[in-house]
């Protein structure tokens, strides 16, 4: 059996298509957990820091090109200078990447950085001189001008690296690169993992919890000086309010069924999940092997939106939501006025939903139905002819305008523009709860829910989810999105939502 996780959602919930008792109340009281700090999908990583350093190097080369044009007479036109600059950037970055200069440990030593910059600058200057010589016949003039340009460029790069040195020190002081690690296994394998994670060569890891698996001895109170914080239920409660970067499943490989149960129990947590090998030096070529504090581990789950992906996703959310709200604000005011004139009740209402890390939040929607205090929302709106749908509400549902206020949820950090739709926990498909009918339903909570999603853009909305088969397909689409995310996929989903999702036959 799958280890039980605590039910933290509100007992009375409402479906994504129903206006419930909460719709009649003022939007003041947040659901349980609303006032606690929100989980964040963004985490500093070594890769993100390295990309930032690389980007700042490129910025310094571009700045040197602009300043050189202001300080000295230019023998090249702007188009030629841009070509020469691009050649210099490509050469500089390629050389530093080849000698592995873009690594965090290199940024704290001045002479190591100095040597890397000299190597990259020499190669860059040589490439730029060759290209410039092909454009000009006066080689002496070209050499003097190009060398002056390169001297300015090197000075900017060196000054920039000194600023980066200070930033890296601050990052290290605040321990922003340390991975918050949880070990599941109060046993011999767990003890071996903890020795590695708390040893002298494990400065990149911070053990934030040790938990028992379902077969561990309950009498064990601590390992390696770290107290046992409880079982899987306690881990679930902790993960709802705290960031976890890495989960180590410390279970012997002879207990494969237990390992699979543990994987299922934690796969909803947005963290990397690894299983340590019990023998040192095991490195099968057919699997993803991840070194963790000197341990050889098999990585079975990946944290979504790590490093630069998280930055791109957050930028997409805030830019799209801000621009959309600015452009649509006149429409939203007119819709709110029309709702108030059409039927008694508020224009906006809130519903409790489950988001990132199975954490409850309040979702905003336009009211499209008359208020019914007896409706608990579990059945939802399974017909476009539901008598509770108001005249204005029918139009809003048909055009999906009732969902637009969720842009506020995006700006609040509860949701993304694109992600799995936040269904309510008590939503019924037939006579069975949606969240219990699909085995991997909880995996959707590894990322923020979305205003639209891959399933919705492919027609899996409202009426379509009354079918058990379609409900399962919608979850499969959500899981596909989580593992295949890209900016281009998000753009395709947004476009398809506008073209197909807003006017499909399952929209009402």
* 275 and 240 in a common domain: yes
Residue 463: per-residue pLDDT? 58
Q: What is the pLDDT of residues 215-233, one digit of tens each?
A: 888 888 999 889 999 999 9
**Which helix (H) or strand (E) covers residue 247, if one does?**
strand 246-249
Residue 26 tokens read as: 């003022």
Q: Give the residue from 301, 332, 349 where a domain finishes.
A: 301
Residue 20: per-residue pLDDT? 38
Using left for φ > 0, alpha for ψ between -120 and 50, and beta otherwise, residue 459 falls in left
Residue 236: per-residue pLDDT? 92
Q: Give the residue from 273, 301, 329 where a domain finishes.
A: 301
* 490 and 341 in a common domain: yes
pLDDT of 487 strictly over 90: yes
pLDDT of 279 strictly over 90: no
* 192 and 256 in a common domain: yes
Least confident of 140-154, 344-358, 481-495: 140-154
Residue 30: per-residue pLDDT? 41
Residue 15 lies in a domain: no
* 484 and 361 in a common domain: yes
Query: Which are the contacts of 283, defined by CB distance < 8 A and separation ≥ 6?
Result: 289, 296
Please say whether the beta carbons of 407 and 323 come within 8 A: no
Please say whether the beta carbons of 205 and 197 come within 8 A: yes
Q: What is the pLDDT of residues 111-160, one digit of tens each?
A: 999 999 999 999 999 998 888 877 776 666 667 777 888 899 999 999 99
- Domain with residue 239: its CATH number is 3.40.50.720
Mean pLDDT of the chain: 82
Please say whether the beta carbons of 357 and 269 come within 8 A: yes
**Which helix (H) or strand (E) covers residue 126, if one does?**
helix 110-135
Residue 506 lies in a domain: no
101 in helix, strand or coil? Answer: coil
Look-up: residue for tokens 């690594």? Answer: 103
**Beta-sheet pairing, 360-366 with 348-354:** antiparallel
Q: Give the residue from 252, 276, 301 where a domain finishes.
A: 301
Q: How many residues does the chain have?
A: 508
Residue 12: per-residue pLDDT? 34
Q: What is the pLDDT of residues 431-461, one digit of tens each?
A: 666 666 666 778 888 999 999 999 888 877 6
**Which helix (H) or strand (E) covers residue 298, if one does?**
strand 295-301
According to DSSP, residue 498 is labeled I
Residue 466: per-residue pLDDT? 65
* 320 and 278 in a common domain: no
pLDDT band at residue 238 under the 50/70/90 scheme: very high
* 232 and 105 in a common domain: no
Residue 350: per-residue pLDDT? 87
According to DSSP, residue 355 is labeled -
Residue 379: per-residue pLDDT? 53
* 402 and 317 in a common domain: yes
Residue 10: per-residue pLDDT? 34
Q: How many domains does the chain have?
A: 3
* 496 and 366 in a common domain: yes
Residue 1 lies in a domain: no
pLDDT of 29 strictly over 50: no
Residue 255: per-residue pLDDT? 86
């Amino acid at each position: 059996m799958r280890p039980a996780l605590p039910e933290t959602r509100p007992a009375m919930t409402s479906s994504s298509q129903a206006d419930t008792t909460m719709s009649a109340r003022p939007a003041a009281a947040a659901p349980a957990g609303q006032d606690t700090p929100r989980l964040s999908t963004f985490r500093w990583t070594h890769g993100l820091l390295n990309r930032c350093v690389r980007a700042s190097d490129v910025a310094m080369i571009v700045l040197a090109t602009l300043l050189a044009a202001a300080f000295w007479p230019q023998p090249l036109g702007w188009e030629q200078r841009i070509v020469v600059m691009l050649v210099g950037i490509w050469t500089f970055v390629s050389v530093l990447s080849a000698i592995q200069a873009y690594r965090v440990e290199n940024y704290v030593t001045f002479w190591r950085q100095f040597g890397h910059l000299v190597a990259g600058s020499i190669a860059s200057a040589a490439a730029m001189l060759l290209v410039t010589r092909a454009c000009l016949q006066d080689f002496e003039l070209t050499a003097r001008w190009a060398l002056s340009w390169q001297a300015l460029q090197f000075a900017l790069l060196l000054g920039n690296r000194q600023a980066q040195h200070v930033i890296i020190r601050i990052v290290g002081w605040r321990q922003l690169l340390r991975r918050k690690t949880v070990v599941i296994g109060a046993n011999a394998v767990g003890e071996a993992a903890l020795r590695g994670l708390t040893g002298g060569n494990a400065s990149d890891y911070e053990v934030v919890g040790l938990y028992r698996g379902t077969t561990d001895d309950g009498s064990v109170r601590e390992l390696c000086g770290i107290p046992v914080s409880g079982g899987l239920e306690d881990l679930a409660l902790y993960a709802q309010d705290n960031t976890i970067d890495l989960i180590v499943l410390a279970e012997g490989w002879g207990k494969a069924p237990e390992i699979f149960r543990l994987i299922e129990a934690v796969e909803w947590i947005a963290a990397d999940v690894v299983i340590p090998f019990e023998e040192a030096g095991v490195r099968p070529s057919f699997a993803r092997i991840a070194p963790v504090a000197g341990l050889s581990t098999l990585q079975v789950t990946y944290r979504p939106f790590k490093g630069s992906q998280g930055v791109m996703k957050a930028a997409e959310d805030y830019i799209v939501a801000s621009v959309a709200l600015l452009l649509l604000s006149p429409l939203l005011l007119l819709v709110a006025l029309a709702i108030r004139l059409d039927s008694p009740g508020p224009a906006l209402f809130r519903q409790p939903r489950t988001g990132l890390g199975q954490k409850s939040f309040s979702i905003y929607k336009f009211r499209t139905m008359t208020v019914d205090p007896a409706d608990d929302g579990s059945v939802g709106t399974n017909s476009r002819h539901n008598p509770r749908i108001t005249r204005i509400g029918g139009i809003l549902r048909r055009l999906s305008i009732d969902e637009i206020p969720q842009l506020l949820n995006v700006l609040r950090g509860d949701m993304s523009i694109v992600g799995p739709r936040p269904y309510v926990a008590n939503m019924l498909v037939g006579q069975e709860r949606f969240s219990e009918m699909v085995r991997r339903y909880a995996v959707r909570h590894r990322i923020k829910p979305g205003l639209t999603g891959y399933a919705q853009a492919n027609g899996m909305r409202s009426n379509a989810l009354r079918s058990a088969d379609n409900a399962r397909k919608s979850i499969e689409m959500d899981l596909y999105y989580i593992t295949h995310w890209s900016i281009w996929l998000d753009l395709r989903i947004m476009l398809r939502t506008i073209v197909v999702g807003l006017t499909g036959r399952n929209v009402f």
